């Protein structure tokens, strides 16, 4: 078990957080993150655990360039997430980040292929290349025969597979998953986790937020946070992987 | 995200709620169609009047008394029927340089006209001189002779009686005091040289008799000192190349004319060319058209509000979708573009449907009003541009709202 935050670590980190604070002003100030330093090495698999309100989603939103830190620095593939340029942050989200949400968040009127291709649309890929890439990824997640289905024609597990394919579409620096199994049954959840394991095995960096120990154990290490600070970092050394 | 993809996405979301989009578009269609209709009908009426005035009366200068003090808009064509122009004035004007003819015109009060035992009641007929009937205006027969008991009638006058009136027939004129005179119909005309620019508009039956012997209004000419016939209206036919010079000379003469002495205070003497009339008509038609078109523009404003409203609803409904798009890399301006494109497409579709509808309706209206259809092409372009502009303007605020959606908020709740 390691208790150091490990920011100083190797240059192969794709995500770095250096003394990151995030505060919200709502009458009084709420400190969602109170000085977090963390680095994600390329190809690593990290889980974040902690009680409700501890700052897990806040952390993920910062790494995902959906939000900017109040203090400190967040970089993803050497891009500064704290940039003032909204367009630049959108660019980071579109090319370096792959989001997988608890509630899937697919576009209801687009079919599976179009949903997977959506990030590429904003990255100005041609129509043909977008389709080709989307089909490839749908086959990869086992939905080669559901390409033309809309989200409401798919099961929860299938929707999450589409979401994972979409997250992989731009070949991102990091895949972020916030409670990816929260809205599906245990058995399907296991399939989804298996898929995420595959994604990581293929070399993708994965950052996973969960409050279930069993899910967290899919990762290489577990970052425990409480009240906006890292309490401990638990190394699993692959022990939990196939347990 | 390029313009084509933006349009494709916008089109998709419009099609995903067809009814709502169609209802919104109807507003624009009505607005554009009304603008096009009113502008086109206005242009058609104006063009029709202008062509009606035509070349036949282009070299006429109309001399008539009009109510004084009508302001800057010119005397207007509501003349007052005051017999003020004496034979002396006619002679003097005829001597003016550039003047070819001076045609006096007056009304003879009658009570009825009879032809072949069919009596038609009528208040007045027109007294004028033979020169009022140029050769090309005569459809049948000839002009009447001065001093003869003869009459010339308009084409429509032939059907005024039960049995057709034609050259060679006789017409019995019953005067106010009950006496009857018989005249020979010697000619049929389709116009007269001295008629006012829009006289043929009415197309009503007209009967013409020579001033001598039928016209009896007389006044003592101050210049001559003897009693002479006096007319309420003169038409000066000018050399076509010198119309405006003649108008000036006529105006000069009028200042010292018999008419100037004889006219009451409340009346002033004016000389107007048919061009003056045309300008006046254009002015009036133009004003009416602008006014009505402005009302139609209100329909467009309402349409714009409709689009803005529907777009705001759309933004609210699709907040989550906006969040998703932003999470996967959409920039604010991509989102803005999507919603702006949607509003613009609604406006453009409305314009594209409204334009032909407006053309069709205005065409129908001109056919109904028996006016030649003159399309207001300028307005067509304006209408389409305005339709698109309405979409853009109406979409701006909703699109801005959409662009400002915070993805974290949008994605937080199920
Ligand atoms: N937009 C916001 N405005 C104000 N406070 C916020 C906002 N977002 C988060 N917070 C606060 O920051 C803290 C951390 O929230 P966060 O969503 O990161 O928790 P979490 O660890 O993801 O919890 P859960 O497990 O319930 O999802 C909470 O106290 C929360 O109330
Ligand atoms: Mg959370």
Tens of pLDDT, residues B324-337: 999 999 999 999 99
Does residue A31 lie in a domain region?
Answer: no
pLDDT at position B370, please?
83
On whether both B242 and B366 belong to a single domain, the answer is: no
More confident residue, B84 or A177: A177
Within this chain, do residues B344 and B299 fall inside the same structural domain, yes or no? yes
In DSSP terms, B152 is beta-bridged to B187, B208
Q: Which of A30, A40, A25 is CA-nearest to residue A173?
A: A40
Question: What's the structural domain count of chain A?
Answer: 1
What is the number of the ligand 1 atom nearest to the C-alpha of A26? 4
Q: Within a domain: residue A145?
A: yes
Lowest mean pLDDT among A88-97, B227-236, B314-323: B227-236
Of residues B97, B268, B93, B115, the one with CA closest to residue B194? B93
| Average pLDDT, 10 consecutive residues per value, chain A (243 residues) | 43 91 90 95 96 94 96 95 93 96 94 96 95 96 95 95 97 95 92 95 95 94 96 78 43
Distance CA B36, CA B360 (A): 10
CATH of the domain at A218: 3.40.50.300
Note whether B107 and B182 are same-domain residues: yes
Please answer whether residues B159 and B140 qualify as being in contact, where contact means their C-beta atoms are separated by less than 8 angstroms.
no
Same-domain check for residues B104 and B227: yes
Q: Do residues B96 and B224 both lie within one domain?
A: yes
Q: Going by CA atoms, what residue is nearest to atom 17 of ligand 1?
A: A57
Q: Are residues B38 and B111 in the same domain?
A: no
Q: B156 vs B10, which has greater pLDDT?
A: B10
Q: Is the same domain home to B244 and B286?
A: no
Ligand 1, atom 7, residue with closest C-alpha: A24
Residue B61 lies in a domain: no
Identify the pLDDT of residue B56: 63
Residues 173-232 of A with CB under 8 A from B: none
Task: Flag whether B103 is in a domain.
Answer: yes
Q: Same domain, yes or no, for B288 and B400?
A: yes
Residues B200 and B160 in one domain: yes
CB B230 within 8 A of CB B262: yes
Does a structural domain hold residue A19?
no
Number of domains in chain B: 2
Distance A56 CA to ligand 2 centre (A): 6
Q: For residue B25, give the nearest of B296, B312, B306 by alpha carbon.
A: B306
Q: Domain for residue A141, yes or no?
A: yes
> Closest ligand 1 atom, CA of A51?
25
Q: What is the pLDDT of residue A11?
A: 65
A26 touches chain B (CB under 8 A): no
Q: Which residues of A touch B331 (CB under 8 A)?
A: 86-87, 90-91, 122
Inter-chain touch B2–A91, beta carbons under 8 Å: no
Q: What is the pLDDT of residue B382?
A: 86
What is the value of pTM for the model shown?
0.74
The domain boundary, picked from B262, B288, B308, lies at: B262
Are B327 and A91 inside 8 Å of each other by CB? no
B129 and B236 together in one domain: yes
**pLDDT, tens digit, for every residue of B19-66?**
999 999 999 999 999 988 988 888 888 888 777 666 567 778 888 888
Nearest to A67 among B2, B408, B414 (CB): B408
- Out of B16, B323, B334, the one facing A122 most closely (by C-beta) is B334
The answer to whether the bond into A117 is cis (omega within 30° of 0) is no
Contacts of B414 in chain A (CB under 8 A): 103
Which chain B positions have a beta carbon within 8 Å of A52's beta carbon?
none
Residues 6 or more apart whose Cβ sits within 8 Å of residue B317: none
- Which ligand is located closest to the Cα atom of residue A28? 1
Per-residue burial over A164-173, b if 16 or more Cβ lie within 10 Å, else e, is bbbbbbbebb
Q: Give me the pLDDT at residue A2, please.
A: 41
Q: Is the CB of A172 inside 8 Å of chain B's CB atoms?
A: no
For residue range B102-152, what is the model confidence (pLDDT) as tens digits?
999 888 888 888 888 888 888 888 899 998 888 888 888 999 998 889 999
Tokens of A24: 């919200």
| Residue B79's pLDDT band (cuts 50, 70, 90) | low
> Could you tell me the residue range of the domain that residue B167 belongs to?
83-262
Return mean pLDDT, chain B. Answer: 86
Global ipTM: 0.92
| In a domain? residue B64 | no
Please check whether residues B9 and B90 belong to one and the same domain.
Answer: no
User: Measured between CA atoms, how close is B328 to chain A, in angstroms?
Assistant: 5
B109 and B40 together in one domain: no
Give the Å distance between the CA of A178 and the centre of ligand 2. 7
Domain boundary pick from B232, B262, B292: B262
- Cβ of residue B331 closer than 8 Å to a chain A Cβ: yes
Chain B, residues 269-328, CB within 8 A of chain A, namely 320-321, 323-328
Higher-scoring residue by pLDDT: B190, A85: A85
In this structure, is residue B7 part of a structural domain?
yes
| Ligand 1 contact, A228 CB (< 6 A) | no
Residue B71 lies in a domain: no
Domain that holds residue A99: 43-68+83-235
Stretch B354-358: mean pLDDT: 94
Q: How confident is the model at residue B289 (pLDDT cuts 50, 70, 90)?
A: confident
Q: What is the 3-state secondary structure (H, E, C) of chain A?
A: CECCCCCCCCCCEEEEEEEEEEEEEECEEEEEEEEEEEEEECCCEEEEECCCCCCHHHHHHHHCCCCCCCEEEEEECCEECCCCCHHHHHHHHHHHEEEECCCCCCCCCCCHHHHHHHHHHHCCCCHHHHHHHHHHHHHHCCCCCCCCCCHHHCCHHHHHHHHHHHHHCCCCCEEEEECCCCCCCHHHHHHHHHHHHHHHHCCCEEEEECCCHHHHCCCCEEEEEECCEEEEEEECCCCCCCC
B58 found inside a domain: no
Residues 6+ apart with CB under 8 A from B1: A121, A122, A124, B330, B334, B337
């Amino acid at each position: 078990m390691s208790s150091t935050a490990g920011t100083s670590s190797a240059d192969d980190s794709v995500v770095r957080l250096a003394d990151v604070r995030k505060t919200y002003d709502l009458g009084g100030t709420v400190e969602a993150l109170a000085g977090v330093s963390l680095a994600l090495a390329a190809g690593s698999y990290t889980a974040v655990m902690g009680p409700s309100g501890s700052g897990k989603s806040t952390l993920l939103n910062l790494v995902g360039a959906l939000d900017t830190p109040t203090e400190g620095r967040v970089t993803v593939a050497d891009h500064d997430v704290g940039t003032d340029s909204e367009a630049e942050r959108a660019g980071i989200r579109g090319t370096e980040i792959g989001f997988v949400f608890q509630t899937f968040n697919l576009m209801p009127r687009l079919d599976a292929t179009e949903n997977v291709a959506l990030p590429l649309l904003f990255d100005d890929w041609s129509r043909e290349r977008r389709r080709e890439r989307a089909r490839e990824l749908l086959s990869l997640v086992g939905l080669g025969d559901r390409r033309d289905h809309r989200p409401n024609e798919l099961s929860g597990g299938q929707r999450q597979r589409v979401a994972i394919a979409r997250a992989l579409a731009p070949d991102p620096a990091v895949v972020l998953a916030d409670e990816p199994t929260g809205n599906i049954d245990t058995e399907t959840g296991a399939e989804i986790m298996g898929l995420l394991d595959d994604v990581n095995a293929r070399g993708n960096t994965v950052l996973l937020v969960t409050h279930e120990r069993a899910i967290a154990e899919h990762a290489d290490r577990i970052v425990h946070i409480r009240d906006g600070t890292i309490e401990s970092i638990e190394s699993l050394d692959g022990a939990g992987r196939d347990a | 995200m390029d313009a084509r993809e933006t349009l494709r996405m916008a089109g998709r979301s419009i099609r995903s709620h067809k009814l709502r989009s169609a209802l919104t578009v109807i507003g624009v269609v009505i607005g554009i169609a009304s603008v096009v209709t009113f502008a086109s009908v206005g242009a058609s009426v104006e063009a029709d009047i202008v062509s009606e005035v035509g070349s036949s009366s282009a070299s006429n200068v109309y001399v008539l008394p009009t109510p004084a003090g009508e302001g800057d808009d010119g005397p207007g064509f509501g003349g007052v029927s005051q017999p003020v122009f004496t034979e002396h004035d006619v002679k003097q004007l005829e001597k003016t340089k550039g003047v070819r003819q001076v045609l006096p015109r007056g009304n003879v009060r009658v009570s009825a006209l009879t032809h072949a035992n069919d009596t038609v009641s009528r208040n007045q007929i027109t007294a004028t001189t033979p020169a009022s009937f140029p050769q090309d205006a005569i459809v049948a027969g000839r002009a009447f002779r001065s001093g003869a008991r003869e009459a010339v009638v308009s084409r429509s006058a032939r059907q005024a009686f039960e049995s057709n009136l034609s050259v060679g027939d006789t017409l019995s004129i019953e005067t106010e005091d009950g006496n009857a005179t018989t005249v020979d119909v010697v000619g049929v005309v389709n116009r007269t040289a001295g008629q006012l620019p829009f006289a043929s508009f009415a197309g009503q039956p007209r009967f013409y008799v020579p001033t001598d012997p039928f016209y009896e209004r007389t006044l003592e000419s101050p210049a001559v000192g003897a009693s002479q016939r006096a007319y309420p209206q003169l038409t000066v036919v000018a050399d076509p190349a010198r119309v405006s010079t003649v108008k000036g000379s006529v105006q000069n003469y009028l200042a010292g004319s018999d008419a100037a002495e004889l006219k009451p205070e409340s009346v002033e003497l004016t000389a107007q060319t048919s061009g003056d009339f045309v300008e006046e008509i254009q002015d009036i038609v133009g004003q009416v058209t602008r006014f009505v078109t402005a009302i139609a523009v209100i329909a467009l404003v309402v349409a714009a509000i409709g689009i803005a409203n529907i777009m705001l609803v759309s933004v609210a409904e699709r907040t989550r979708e906006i969040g998703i798009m932003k999470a996967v890399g959409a920039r604010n301006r991509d989102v803005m573009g999507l919603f702006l494109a949607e509003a613009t497409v609604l406006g453009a579709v409305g314009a594209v449907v409204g334009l032909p509808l407006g053309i069709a309706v205005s065409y129908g209206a001109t056919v109904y009003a028996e006016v030649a259809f003159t399309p207001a092409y300028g307005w067509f372009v304006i209408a389409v541009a305005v339709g698109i502009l309405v979409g853009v303007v109406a979409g701006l605020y909703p699109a801005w709202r959409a662009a400002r959606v915070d993805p974290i908020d949008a994605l937080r709740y199920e």
